[in-house]
Amino acid sequence: MKFLFAIVFCFFGLNVKADVATFAGGCFWCMEPPFEKLVGVSKVISGYSGGSEKNPKYEEVARGKTGHRESVQVHYNPDLVSYRRLVEIFWMNIDPTDGNGQFVDKGFQYSSAIFTHNKTQRKIALKSLDLLKLSGKFKKIETKIIDFKSFYPAEDYHQDYYKKNLVTKTKYKYYRAASGRDDFIEKHWKKDETLNWQSDYQKPNNFKNKLSEIQLEVTQNEGTEPPFKNEYWDNKQAGIYVDVVSGEPLFSSKDKYKSGTGWPSFTKPLVSNNIIELNDTKLFSERIEVRSRFGDSHLGHVFKDGPEPTGLRYCINSASLRFIPVEKLEKEGYENFKDLFN
C-alpha cells in the first residue's frame, strides 16, 4: 500500500523536495521561530547535535556533560528557500562574537555552530562567514562551522515551546525579552538586510532613470498596480520573468497559473536564492512580502492558497518584472534556462 501511494503521489506531481540544515544558536526555543516563519520550511525540530553520546537527555546536555550543543534541525524545500537564506537567518539571530554560549545562557552546550551536511553546505557556510567578516559588523567571530555527525530530537515538551499554551508562551516571551537576544538583533541588523553575496545581477546606480512611474512606485515604494490592468497578468507566452531593476531571474512561465486575482501568479520561484521574504503588517494584517535579493525590489506577496505541488501563490506586480520569451533567452544572456522549455 505504501508503495502504491508513493507512485500515485509522484504521478500527480505532488512529491516535494526536502533538504535538512542544522544550526546551534543557543536556546533552541528561540531558534525555532525565525526559521518556521520562512515559506519553504516544513518543520523545525529542537534537539542536540555535535556530541558523541547517543540519545542524550536535556538535563545532561544542560549541565554540559554530553558534548552536544542545543540545536535546531530545519527541514526545507530548496525550490522555495535556499540554504544561503537559512544561513543568513541563522547569523541574524545569534551573537557570533560569544564563544562561550549565547546571551544569558553560558557554557559549551549553548555555543553557536553551523553543522554542514555536505560539501555544498560547507562551501556556502564558509562563504557566509567570510561575508560576515567583510561586513565589519563584528570584530571577532567565534561561531564554528562543523561537519554534521548526528542529531537527537529533544523531549516533546521542548518542541514548539513558544506556541504550546498560555503558560509556555508567557515563559518564552519573558525569557526571550530578558535574555538580550532581541536587543542585540535590533542593534546589528535591519529587517531587510542580507549578506553581500556576489552576483552578476546588481542594482545599477542610474536605475531610476530607466524605470517608468509605476515601476518606480512599485519597486521602490512598495506600491501595488491595479489588477487586470497590468502588463503580464494574462501573459501566456513561454519564458522567464526577471527583476526589472537588476535583471536577476525570478519566475518561469512554467510555474505561472491563472489565479483570477488580476496579477501574475506563480507557484514557486525560478531561483529560490533570488527571493527574500519579510513580514509585512502595513494593512493591519500580517502578510509575507516578497523582494528580490540583488535588486532589492518590492515584488509583491506570497500566500498559502495556491495550487499543488507547493500550495503557494506568489502574487507579483507586473511593474516589478521584465519578461524574456524563450526565443530571446540566449540573446539576453539567460541561455542557462533554455533547457527548461525543451
Integer distance in angstroms from the first to the last C-alpha of the chain?
35
Gap between the Cα atoms of 314 and 322, Å rounded: 16
Q: Is residue 3 part of a domain?
A: no
Answer whether residue 331 is part of any domain.
Answer: yes
In the predicted structure, residue 138 carries a pLDDT above the cut 80: yes
303: β partners: 313
**50 with 24: CB under 8 angstroms?**
yes
Active site residue 315: yes
Catalytic residue among 315, 316, 321, 324: 315
The DSSP secondary-structure symbol of 156 reads G
Tell me if 302 is assigned to some domain. Answer: yes
Judged by DSSP in three states, 108 sits in: helix
For the chain, what is the largest distance between any 2 Cα atoms, rounded to a whole number of angstroms?
64
Of 160, 188, 216, the residue at which a domain comes to its end is 188
**pLDDT in the model for residue 7:** 36
Here the CATH number for the domain that contains residue 211 is: 2.170.150.20
- The candidate with the shortest Cα–Cα distance to 260, out of 229, 299, 228, is 228
Assess whether 232 and 175 both reside in one domain.
no
Q: Is the pLDDT of residue 16 over 70?
A: no
What whole-number distance in Å separates Cα of residue 37 and Cα of residue 217? 27
Of the candidates 188, 223, 256, which is a domain's last residue?
188
Q: Are residues 172 and 233 in the same domain?
A: no
**Of the candidates 295, 296, 302, the residue with the CA atom closest to the CA atom of residue 316:** 302
Residue 14 has pLDDT above 70, yes or no: no
3-state secondary structure of 187: helix
Distance CA 2, CA 23 (A): 32
* Structural domain contains residue 221: yes
Task: Kindly report whether the peptide bond that precedes residue 309 is cis, defined as omega within 30 degrees of 0.
Answer: yes
Question: Based on the domain organization, do 229 and 141 belong to the same domain?
Answer: no
Does residue 280 share a domain with residue 177?
A: no
- Are 93 and 125 part of one and the same domain? yes
CA gap 225, 233 in Å, rounded:
11
**What CATH number should be reported for the domain holding residue 141?**
3.30.1060.10
Query: Can you tell me the mean pLDDT for 145-151?
Result: 97
- Radius of gyration, CA atoms only, the chain: 22
Decide which of 188, 216, 251 is a domain's last residue.
Answer: 188
pLDDT, one tens digit per residue, over 44-79 is: 999 999 999 999 999 999 999 999 999 999 999 999
Looking at residues 99-125, what average pLDDT do you find? 98
Q: If we measure between CA atoms, which residue out of 200, 235, 214 comes closest to residue 320?
A: 214
Higher pLDDT, 223 or 15: 223
Question: Phi-psi region for residue 97, left (φ > 0), alpha (ψ -120 to 50) or beta?
Answer: alpha
pLDDT (tens digit per residue) in 293-334: 999 999 999 999 999 999 999 999 999 999 999 999 999 999
Q: Find the catalytic residue in 21, 27, 124, 125.
A: 27
State residue 1's pLDDT score: 38
Choose the weakest-confidence range: 72-76, 159-163, 164-168, 298-302: 164-168
Distance CA 222, CA 322 (A): 17
| Owning domain of residue 59 | 13-188
Position 198 in a domain: no
For residues 243-270, give the mean pLDDT.
98
Domain count of the fold of the chain: 2
| 195 within some domain | no
Residues 174, 213 share a domain: no
Question: Residues 35, 178: one domain?
Answer: yes
**Structure confidence by residue, pLDDT tens digits, 269-279:** 999 999 999 98
DSSP 208-228: GGGS-HHHHHHHHH---PPTT
Q: How many residues does the chain have?
A: 342
What DSSP character marks residue 111? -
- Average pLDDT along the chain: 93
Cβ atoms within 10 Å of 334's Cβ, excluding its own: 18
Q: Are residues 149 and 216 in the same domain?
A: no
Confidence of residue 127 (pLDDT cuts 50, 70, 90): very high
Are residues 222 and 170 part of one domain?
no
The answer to whether the beta carbons of residues 81 and 41 sit under 8 Å apart is yes
Considering the domain boundaries, does residue 200 fall inside one?
no
Within 8 A by CB and 6+ apart from 239, the residues are: 252, 253, 323, 324, 325, 326, 328, 329, 341
- Residue 38: name the closest of 4, 3, 87 by CA: 87
Residues 35 and 175 in one domain: yes
Annotate 29-49 with DSSP letters as a single string. Answer: HHHHHHHHTSTTEEEEEEEEE
Q: Are residues 78 and 109 in the same domain?
A: yes
Tell me, yes or no, whether 28 and 158 share the same domain: yes
10 among known catalytic residues: no
